[in-house]
Structure 1
């Protein structure tokens, strides 16, 4: 009989106490009025500061700021999150949020496109970055994805809106 170092599978998610606390606060935020919202976000921020390496808490804090339309603070938090955990989705959200705040930065979108193409990740993040940065390339990519049946035309209806309408959909 052989002995394994791990005889039982490790739990996939181990929620630590601060993450659980923030999760509970986020639930409360959904039902809070404006005054309560500020207090709750301040509590989340305090826990975030005590746990600077916890990206789960930083993500919940970022989403809370964005949900409360505190976009400038949300952008700073999103940038910090991207530094700790670089993902295309976080970068794309930064690009869109910058534009929503009036700072159009096509190079930001082009970086998302570059990362996508380097990793052969042709998905909605890629298409959205193209939509905001390169209309000609977007149109060609859209047609190719329909032709190869990777996307249905109905999947792409969002792109019949203009850029401002899409930004306002994500960040009202």
Structure 2
């Protein structure tokens, strides 16, 4: 698979997460406690977002939703845990598209993300920013590029 195909597949999966928002599970909520597994460590942005979602989901379904952080391996540990969980709707995943789209091409997984997991809704959009130390003297990306060209090897 070349880079263009990989990017196309990533975009397709990412967009399907948003389109799948209207899907619903049968017999939800399950009769036992609901666990929302997060693919990242506690205290980060994903954890904070998952806790907000868990609170609102719990209010909507009338039972508590427990957040369980299973960070590591770029989110693959959490994805594998949920893929191997009982298929009764009691274990949900708050993860990222990386383990769904990139991991299958880089490593041998014990599960098939496309067969064992089903996206039901998009969660949140985390924008990324490019930041430089204020003393560097660049206020825009163009200035940063110009600065790095002016002083080759000075930007790490």
TM over 0.5: no
TM-score by length of 1: 0.24
Structure with higher strand content? 2
TM-score by length of 2: 0.26
Structure with the larger RCO, 1 or 2 (CA within 8 Å, 6+ apart): 2
Structure with higher helix content? 1
